[in-house]
Amino acid sequence: MNKEKLISEIVLNEIADDYENIDQIIFPSVQKECARLGIQAERSDIVKALADLVEHGLAHAYRLSCREPAKQLEGMPSVDIVEEDFTTYFYITRKGKDQLTGEHQR
């Protein structure tokens, strides 16, 4: 499996059980797992993986706030800069869960 595909699968798994922010949870967790596998993962690799997951309907981006209801965003938001306020989150879709569990192959 190539590096890009592996990172994508690790990212998808990371957002499978909760809304997750790139800088708060996804990047550190994916980087740790990739290091365990002997692969170097940069933040840009995670952003690309998320963009691909969103584009293929396997994940959605959300704006979360403690003051307002969650809002699903259209497409992939700009997340090129590290967030300090942690408002952009990602969560797996049903299609993404099916892929993760292998149900899409049935």
- pLDDT at site 97: 95
CB 43 within 8 A of CB 27: yes
The domain in which residue 29 lies consists of 3-99
CATH number of the CATH domain containing 66: 1.10.10.10
- pLDDT at site 104: 46
- pLDDT at site 106: 42
Domain tally, the chain: 1
- Answer whether residue 43 is part of any domain: yes
Q: Which pLDDT tens digits describe the chain residue by residue (106 residues)? A: 799 999 999 999 999 999 999 999 999 999 999 999 999 999 999 999 999 999 999 999 999 988 888 899 999 999 988 988 899 999 999 999 999 888 544 4
pTM summary value: 0.90
- Answer whether residue 106 is part of any domain: no
- pLDDT at site 68: 85
DSSP notation for 50-91: HHHHHHTTSEEEEE--SSS--EEPSSPPP--S--SS--EEEE
- The burial of 38, by beta-carbon neighbours within 10 Å (0-12 exposed, 13-18 middle, 19 or more buried), is given as exposed
**What number of other Cβ atoms are within 10 A of residue 34's Cβ?**
19
CB 18 within 8 A of CB 91: yes
